[in-house]
């Protein structure tokens, strides 16, 4: 038998991930009361590196957490694409180096999440976070929504509130409840091995690199400034095509040995980066299948809607997962401030974000800005002497510019969502 309670707040947020926590801060800043219900008992610094694009950093600046985030991150200054032989295809300045007012940050996902959690506790109080409560039901009624949570300590609780935001990640229960039959997690046919390694800086010490093509790729970037030992924490992802019809379950914390993929990267030792040494130096390696979800035709049902990965899980291409969740949070707070905690506000939020994020999900299925690596592989599988003869500069520029437009952070679009 469920205990019944009135939440006493305007907005229930399900999930204390990057999206849910940013939403709580954005609502609080606009004087809208909210509470987060999170399934795990305690947040731990899980995950590896992620990137925050300038338009998401502009939101964190407005929320007053950008400085604290920058203090535990690296300001990314360059993005460079190489072929599988380590030959440069394209590079471009990033963040402030590219003229944005806000930086692009490379940061540890778990550290960012804990920073946001601390800030929520400081500003909203400990009661704003209810841990160990997993969403299992949503019902719209005349007063708003009734959400049912299963407690880790046992039993269930049914909570009333005017509106509910499902920010519960790629495996979202809110999405399944609101949109039954809207499809499962989709496998993109590639396996990713993610880790961090302490190593000496490479290239500018603030460069994010991608090498290879869609069937074999290595991505890496530093997420800490050099320590007194001169070493940085380098985040890396090794990726291989996988033709198995059934992928391993998408579990962010699934550890494997490097033996599973190491031999395929044995000759990835470039003059400017020793990828094999990074693989060999890793403390723990996590396997994750490349997955996303089909875009939904609608997010909102009555007084409940979705945000972040729950709304638009996308391939980790183009540094958009956390950035788009943060942009959602800002858009939702704006809509609720304008229209109150109502179904109408949720519809306005969805109207401002659903099509934009659908375009990114689909662009990422076509490899997004990484198309340049694919073109180099198709046109010059044995390498090249002059990239200009393989892919004209105008074509490279056009691919980079088009993706920035789709993801909403082209310089001319400004840095607000």
Ligand X SMILES: Cc1cc2nc3c(=O)[nH]c(=O)nc-3n(C[C@H](O)[C@H](O)[C@H](O)COP(=O)(O)OP(=O)(O)OC[C@H]3O[C@@H](n4cnc5c(N)ncnc54)[C@H](O)[C@@H]3O)c2cc1C
210 binding ligand X? (CB under 6 A): no
Pick the piece of the chain touching ligand X (CB under 6 A) from 38-46, 86-94, 270-278, 336-344. 38-46
Burial of 141 (0-12, 13-18, 19+ CB in 10 A): exposed
The least distance separating ligand X from the CB of residue 174, rounded to whole angstroms, comes to: 7
Sequence-distant (≥ 6) Cβ neighbours of residue 308 within 8 angstroms: 15, 17, 18, 19, 20, 167, 169, 324, 325, 328
Q: How many residues bind ligand X (CB under 6 A)?
A: 31
Among 9, 11, 12, 17, binds ligand X (CB under 6 A): 17
325 binding ligand X? (CB under 6 A): yes
- Sheet with 156-161: list strands edge to edge: 3-6, 156-161, 144-151, 133-141
Strand partners, 147: 138, 159
134 binding ligand X? (CB under 6 A): yes
14 binding ligand X? (CB under 6 A): yes
What distance in Å separates the CA atoms of residue 123 and residue 66, rounded to the nearest whole number? Answer: 16
15 binding ligand X? (CB under 6 A): yes
Nearest CB to ligand X, comparing residues 36 and 89: 36
The least distance separating ligand X from the CB of residue 85, rounded to whole angstroms, comes to: 27
Among 54, 86, 144, 169, binds ligand X (CB under 6 A): 169
Site for ligand X in 92-121 (CB under 6 A): 109
Strand partners, 237: 194, 219
188 binding ligand X? (CB under 6 A): no
289 binding ligand X? (CB under 6 A): no
Pick the piece of the chain touching ligand X (CB under 6 A) from 82-90, 162-170, 386-394, 407-415. 162-170
19 binding ligand X? (CB under 6 A): yes
What distance in Å separates the CA atoms of residue 120 and residue 129, rounded to the nearest whole number? Answer: 8
CA angle 351, 50, 413 (to 5 degrees): 45
135 binding ligand X? (CB under 6 A): yes
252 binding ligand X? (CB under 6 A): yes
Among 316, 318, 368, 369, binds ligand X (CB under 6 A): 316
The least distance separating ligand X from the CB of residue 71, rounded to whole angstroms, comes to: 19
Nearest CB to ligand X, comparing residues 164 and 399: 164
- Sheet with 255-256: list strands edge to edge: 88-93, 78-82, 207-213, 216-222, 232-241, 185-199, 285-293, 255-256
Residue 376, H or E segment? helix 371-379
The least distance separating ligand X from the CB of residue 331, rounded to whole angstroms, comes to: 14
CB atoms within 10 A of CB 341: 20
* Nearest residue to the partner ligand X, using Cβ: 17
Residues that bind ligand X (CB under 6 A): 14-20, 37-40, 46-48, 50, 109, 134-135, 167-169, 173, 194, 252, 308-310, 316, 321-322, 325
């Amino acid at each position: 038998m469920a205990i019944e309670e009135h939440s006493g707040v305007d907005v229930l947020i399900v999930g204390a991930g990057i999206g849910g926590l940013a939403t709580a801060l954005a609502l609080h800043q606009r004087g809208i009361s909210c509470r987060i219900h999170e399934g795990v008992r305690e947040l731990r610094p899980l995950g590896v590196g992620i990137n925050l694009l300038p338009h998401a950093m502009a939101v964190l600046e407005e929320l007053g957490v950008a400085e604290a985030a920058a203090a535990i991150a690296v300001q990314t200054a360059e993005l460079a694409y190489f072929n599988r032989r380590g030959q440069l295809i394209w590079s471009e300045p990033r963040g402030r180096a590219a003229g944005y007012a806000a930086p692009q940050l490379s940061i540890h996902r778990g550290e960012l999440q804990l920073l946001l959690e601390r800030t929520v506790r400081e500003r909203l109080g400990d009661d704003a976070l209810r841990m160990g409560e997993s969403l299992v039901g949503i019902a719209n009624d005349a007063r708003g929504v009734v959400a049912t949570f299963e407690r880790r300590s046992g039993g269930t609780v049914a909570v009333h509130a005017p509106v509910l935001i499902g920010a519960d990640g790629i495996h979202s229960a809110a999405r399944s409840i609101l949109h039954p039959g809207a499809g499962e997690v989709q496998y993109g046919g590639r396996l990713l091995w993610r880790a961090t390694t302490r190593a000496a800086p490479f290239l500018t010490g603030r460069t994010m690199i991608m090498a290879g093509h869609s069937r074999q790729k290595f991505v890496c970037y530093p997420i800490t400034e050099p320590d007194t030992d001169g070493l940085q924490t380098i985040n890396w992802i090794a990726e291989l095509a996988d033709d198995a019809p059934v992928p391993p379950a998408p579990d962010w914390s699934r550890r494997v040995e490097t033996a599973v993929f190491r031999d395929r990267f044995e000759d990835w030792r470039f003059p400017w980066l020793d990828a094999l040494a990074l693989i060999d130096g890793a403390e723990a390696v996590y396997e994750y299948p490349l997955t996303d979800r089909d875009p939904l035709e609608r997010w909102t049902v009555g007084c409940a809607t979705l945000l972040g990965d729950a709304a638009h899980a996308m391939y980790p291409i183009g540094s958009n997962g956390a950035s788009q969740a943060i942009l959602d949070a800002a858009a939702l707070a704006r809509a609720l401030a304008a229209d109150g905690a109502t179904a109408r506000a949720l519809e306005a939020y969805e109207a401002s974000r659903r099509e934009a994020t659908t375009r990114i999900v689909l662009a990422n299925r076509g490899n997004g800005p990484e198309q340049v690596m694919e073109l180099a592989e198709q046109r010059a599988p044995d390498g090249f002497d002059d990239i200009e003869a393989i892919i004209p500069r105008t074509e490279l520029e056009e691919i980079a510019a088009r993706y920035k437009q789709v993801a909403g952070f082209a310089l001319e679009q400004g840095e607000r969502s």
